[in-house]
Amino acid sequence: MKKAKYTWQLREKTELPEEFSTILTQKQINPLLGQLLWHRNIQSTEALETFLRPTVENLYDPFLLYDMEKTITRIQDAVAQGEKILIYGDYDADGITSTTVMKEAIELIGGEVDYFLPNRFIHGYGPNLAVFKEQIEKGVQLIVTVDNGVAGHEAINYAMEQGIDVIVTDHHELPPELPNAFSIIHPKHPKGHYPFGELAGVGVAFKVATALLGELPAEFLDLVAIGTIADLVSLTDENRVLVKMGLEMIRTGERIGLDILIHLSELKKEAISEENIGFTIAPRLNALGRLGDAAPGVELMTTFDEEEAERIATFINSQNDERKEIVATITKEAFELIDPIDQIHIVAKQGWHEGVLGIVAGRIMQDTGKPTIVLTIDEKNESAKGSGRSVSALNLFNALSEIREEFIHFGGHHMAAGMTLPVANLDTVKKHLANYLEINQIDLSQGQELLVDESLNVDEATLTFIQQLKILAPFGTDNPVPNFLFENVSIEQSRQIGADKSHLKFQLSQGSTRLDAIAFQMGNQVDEFGQGTTNLVGQLSINEWNGNKKPQLMVTDFSVDGVQLFDLRGKNGRQKEIPVSNTLYVYFNSESKKLIDDPASQQLLVSQADEAIAMIKSTNPQQLVFVDCPDDLNVLKQITQGGKIERVYLMAISQEEAYLNGTGTREQYAQLYKFVRQQEQVDVRYKLNVVAQHLKIQEKLLIFMIQVFFDLGFVTIENGVLRKVESPENHPLTESKVYQTRLKRIKTEEFLLYSDRETLQQWLWQEEEV
């Protein structure tokens, strides 16, 4: 049995009202898709029409934003009076696009405008007092913040005291007290009544640009789409409209820098999607601010020079490549520091690049299903700085807020947090989080919840259905790609793919229908498939190759019902990764202990099946690893069945190699007997190899034969010295218990080592004994 990584939450089917079902029929929309629309609150003709074909008429009046008239008047006055205007942005993709929109909008009405993006390592996030002072000394007369500023009290107060107005445009969480700015444009302003509060920073900047220009500036929609997708804000309501129109603008527009970046990223401009933006374009723009200066992002988006655009886009690509290498290195090192037993992972190390720690924390959290905090320690070993990522069951911000005094800097929300703290306080944080889980009875063992939209049969995953799913796009936060469950399917043609064999490709089989599937980063789980009955959750897509289109499932998670046997026999098999937690290593020969790669694991030397069964029932391991071969084949089966184990890893290492060496021939015993009778004594402790070479008998076999002679009373052995017995009683070899045990062991090894996995699996859980 293989448990799913996530806890699947399957939506209950809703009986759709007859009126809505009629609408679906009229528009030729699959009823299964109707369920998806209904659960996304698309429940009327008007809502469906807006959802399917959003237009500019579905956007809200920018003057509904609090302080908008005051803001526009101030900017217009600044332009009219020739004031020097500074756009103060942020160093991520939302900040880059926000800055570009605001800069180009003010330039279109003739403003003298410059911009500044802070460096996260030098200036930190938000308005920086030193930068404001420097810019004011250079003659700046108006400052407009984009994608930040709502918490920038110190710098904003200073500027206002100097007679320099500061206009804040932001979308981040509002602090208890707003800064003393000239005006604040925020969709959730406490004095405002804007209909949609989830705009990204670039969305707010676009609203200002629309109000400033007196019309909707469609040429900025490409930037709005990029920033909105990159910032993971809700892709519903107005954001959905902006992104849908923005993607079309990217496909048809002529922003030189963006076009070249798309080309260098090996994307097709005419087929650009929210997925391309989220996984390819946005990470490249974000890489700039993660490693250093984000200003080249604005330069790229505003240039009209193709050569300059090519140079900047090439640089951005190189920065992204460097970012990926840094992330890969730190992720590997961080995983090595993780204790699988911990409910919450907290890892810290000197030398880690602080700009990527949020990515690393997210990857570890996704892989382990546990909240993760990753920190870099400064050279003096005094402070640690980094990021945390959480799961839905734990509000990381609330948990850490209880010990806010332990941090130098701290902020965040339910699923993520950023922090700086003294290294000496790390243990306090670890203990507090462990206590927090216990006190609040938070169970992290079940894994994150995964919402499953529909349960499908394989024959329902048709090209037509998958193509219709596209009407739900663009996908993103609050409008995710639908997850579908396929239950009780068989797996066929499973194989590892990719240069490092890290991915899986296979087919789902149900009745006479097949569905191609691919599971990224699951290559090491290839042995899980093909055993028992498989259930899979994933997202449907169309795989197009050489003009041929086929349905395909992108697997997110899977489970396997029934018993499973994992074949680790032989050297290649032993390289397979064995689960660390809830695993019991069982061995039958004390010498086999040294064969266990994980010395800290739970281990048991077994002489009788009952003692193993008792330990299994008391410790409740999820899987057994049989390290070596027992003398009696059925002991292994008794342990498995008696302990009610459903996952078994079979190494079955035979140090004696009884099956290969056999019991020896009559001639070999005669030869050994003759040799013993001719010697006064034989040093079998140190000279055994010499004797083996002399008699031309394999050394392991010779040891066994000597044990048989000893058992039958033909020889004595004391302190490693063998001596003949002068007048031994005559006994046939078969009377020796050692010989009888060898025969059993030969039978055991023959079956365990040379049967195929399917035969072993069937035998291991069937009632009859061999």
CATH code of the domain in which 509 resides: 2.40.50.460
Same domain for 606 and 513: no
Pairing of the two strands 165-169 and 383-389? unpaired
DSSP 718: E
Q: Can you give the pTM of this predicted structure?
A: 0.84
User: What is the C-alpha separation between 182 and 24, in angstroms, rounded?
Assistant: 50
The two three-digit tokens of residue 600, written as one number: 């800290």
Domain that holds residue 414: 344-439
Sole residue written with tokens 């993006």: 117
Same domain for 255 and 168: yes
Look at residue 445 and tell me if it is in a domain.
no
As a dihedral over the C-alpha atoms of residue 450, residue 451, residue 454, residue 458, rounded to 10 degrees, the angle is -20
Strands (DSSP E) found in 302-415: 345-350, 372-377, 383-389, 409-413
Look at residue 280 and tell me if it is in a domain.
yes
Same domain for 520 and 408: no
Look at residue 48 and tell me if it is in a domain.
no
Q: How many domains does the chain have?
A: 5
User: What is the C-alpha separation between 563 and 757, in angstroms, rounded?
Assistant: 13
Backbone angles phi, psi at 295, to 5 degrees: -55, -35
Look at residue 103 and tell me if it is in a domain.
yes
DSSP states of 644-664 as a string?
A: T--EEEEEEE-SS-HHHH-S-
Q: Is the dihedral of CA 597, 599, 604, 605 positive or negative?
A: positive
Q: What is the mean pLDDT of each run of 10 residues along the chain (770 residues)?
A: 89 90 91 92 90 92 98 98 97 97 98 96 93 98 97 96 98 91 97 96 98 97 98 94 97 96 96 96 96 97 97 97 96 93 94 95 92 96 95 91 92 86 96 95 83 95 94 94 96 90 93 94 85 91 89 96 88 62 91 84 90 92 93 92 91 91 95 94 94 95 96 95 94 95 94 91 77
Look at residue 619 and tell me if it is in a domain.
yes
Same domain for 395 and 380: yes
User: What is the C-alpha separation between 613 and 222, in angstroms, rounded?
Assistant: 65
Residue 160: CB atoms within 10 A of its CB come to 16
CATH of residue 667's domain is 1.10.10
Same domain for 689 and 646: no
Same domain for 258 and 184: yes
Q: Which of helix, strand or coil describes residue 61?
A: coil
Same domain for 146 and 18: no
Same domain for 362 and 467: no
The answer for residues whose C-beta is within 8 angstroms of residue 662's C-beta and 6 or more apart is 701, 746
Element at 735 (helix H, strand E): none
CATH of residue 64's domain is 3.90.1640.30
Look at residue 46 and tell me if it is in a domain.
no
Given a contact cutoff of 8 angstroms between Cβ atoms, the answer to whether 210 and 217 are in contact is yes
Look at residue 1 and tell me if it is in a domain.
no
Domain boundary pick from 414, 439, 464? 439
Same domain for 463 and 425: no
CATH of residue 620's domain is 3.40.50
Given a contact cutoff of 8 angstroms between Cβ atoms, the answer to whether 484 and 540 are in contact is yes
Element at 556 (helix H, strand E): strand 548-561
pLDDT for 293 equals 96
Same domain for 663 and 649: no
| 194-233 exposure pattern, b = at least 16 Cβ within 10 A, e = fewer | bebebbbbbbbbbbbbbbbeeeebeebbbbbbbbbbbbeb
| 126-141 exposure pattern, b = at least 16 Cβ within 10 A, e = fewer | bbbeebbeebbeeebb
The two three-digit tokens of residue 5, written as one number: 């990584």
Q: Which residues pair with 22 in a beta bridge?
A: none
Q: Is the dihedral of CA 399, 402, 403, 407 positive or negative?
A: positive
CATH of residue 374's domain is 3.10.310.30
Same domain for 568 and 556: no
Look at residue 45 and tell me if it is in a domain.
no
User: What is the C-alpha separation between 663 and 656, in angstroms, rounded?
Assistant: 11
Amino acid letter, residue 649: Y
The two three-digit tokens of residue 482, written as one number: 């639908």
Same domain for 253 and 142: yes
Residue 530: CB atoms within 10 A of its CB come to 17
